[in-house]
Structure 1
Amino acid sequence: MTPQELRTFCLSFNDAAEEFPFGPEFSVFKVAGKMFALSSMDAAPLSVNLKCDPDMAVQLRAAHPEIVPGWHMNKRHWNTVTVDAKLPDTMVRELIEDSYDLVVAGLPKAVRLRLDRP
C-alpha cells in the first residue's frame, strides 16, 4: 500500500476528513472530529496508528511483528501498523475499517445515525 492508497482509503469512509494538527508531516484522519488513523505519509517504512479492541490488539501484536503498541498513543487501545509487503493490503484495510468503526461506535447516537452506522 502506497501513501496515496492509504490516504484514499482513509478518506473513503463516510464523513472522514484529513487534518494536520501536529504539523504538515502528520496526516490525521478523523470522523466527526475524532481520530481513527494517524500517519506520517513521508516516513519510510510507511506506518499508521489505528485504534483497536484491546484484546484483539494483543493477539495482532503476537501474530504479526509489523504490528506494535501505538507510538505516542494509549498502547492498550492503539496499534502502530507498518504498511509494507509483509502484511497483505486487505488486512491493512480491515484494520483501518475496524479503527473507523470503533471510533464511530463511541460517538453519540445522533451522529452514528447521521453516518448510517448503528
Structure 2
Amino acid sequence: MKKETLDVYCRKQLGCTHDYQVDWECDRYHVGGKMFAMIGSDSKGKDILTLKCDPARADELREIYEGIIPGYHMNKTHWNSIYFDADIPEGLWERLIAHSHELVVQKLPKKVKLELQNIE
C-alpha cells in the first residue's frame, strides 16, 4: 500500500484533522481531538499504519496476517500496526481505517458527536 493512498483515505473520514508529530516523525489523524490513525515507521524505518481496533478482532487479524502486529509504541490490546508491504486484501485497509475511526467516535462526548453529525 502507498502512503499517499492511506493518507487520502484517512483524511476522508468524517471530522478528520491531521497533524505531523515531529518527535515521532509520523502523520497523525484525529477525530474530536482523539487519534484514530498514525502513519510512521518502526525502529528499522519500515513504514507502518497504526490503527485502533476492537481487541478480539485485533488478535484475530494478527493471527491471519503476518504483516499485522500489536500496535508499535501503542497499547498492544487496542492498537494494531500494519506494514505497508503486508499481504492483505486492498479493501481491508479501508475497512480497518473506518473501524478505527468508528471506535474513536463511539467514545467521544455526546456534544462532539452532535457536532460531527452537523458536518455530514
- Residue 116 of structure 1: how far off its partner (Å): 2.3
- Residue 75 of structure 1: how far off its partner (Å): 0.2
Distance in structure 2 (CA, Å) of the matches to 1:12 and 1:63: 27
Count of residue pairs the alignment pairs up: 116
SS of the residue corresponding to residue 85 of structure 2 reads coil
- Residue 44 of structure 1: how far off its partner (Å): 6.1
SS of the residue corresponding to residue 21 of structure 2 reads coil
Distance in structure 1 (CA, Å) of the matches to 2:94 and 2:55: 19
- Residue 85 of structure 1: how far off its partner (Å): 5.9
Distance in structure 2 (CA, Å) of the matches to 1:34 and 1:6: 18
After TM superposition, the structure 1 = structure 2 runs for residues 97-108 of structure 1, keeping only pairs within 5 Å, are 97-108=98-109
Distance in structure 1 (CA, Å) of the matches to 2:33 and 2:109: 12
After TM superposition, the structure 1 = structure 2 runs for residues 34-53 of structure 1, keeping only pairs within 5 Å, are 34-40=34-40, 45-53=46-54
Distance in structure 2 (CA, Å) of the matches to 1:30 and 1:99: 10
Query: What is the root-mean-square deviation in Å for CA atoms of aligned residues?
Result: 2.0
Equivalent position of 2:28 in the other structure: 28
When the two structures are superposed, what TM-score results if normalisation uses the length of structure 1?
0.88
Asked if residue 60 in structure 1 is aligned to residue 61 in structure 2, the reply is yes
When the two structures are superposed, what TM-score results if normalisation uses the length of structure 2?
0.87
Aligned-pair identity (%): 37
- Residue 112 of structure 1: how far off its partner (Å): 1.2
Distance in structure 2 (CA, Å) of the matches to 1:104 and 1:24: 24
Distance in structure 2 (CA, Å) of the matches to 1:53 and 1:24: 24
Deviations 1:7-26 (A, max 9, x none): 11000011101112344731
Q: Which runs of 5+ in 1 are unaligned?
A: none
Q: Which runs of 5+ in 2 are unaligned?
A: none
Distance in structure 1 (CA, Å) of the matches to 2:16 and 2:27: 12
Asked if residue 19 in structure 1 is aligned to residue 19 in structure 2, the reply is yes
Contact 2:30 2:36 in 1 (8 A): yes
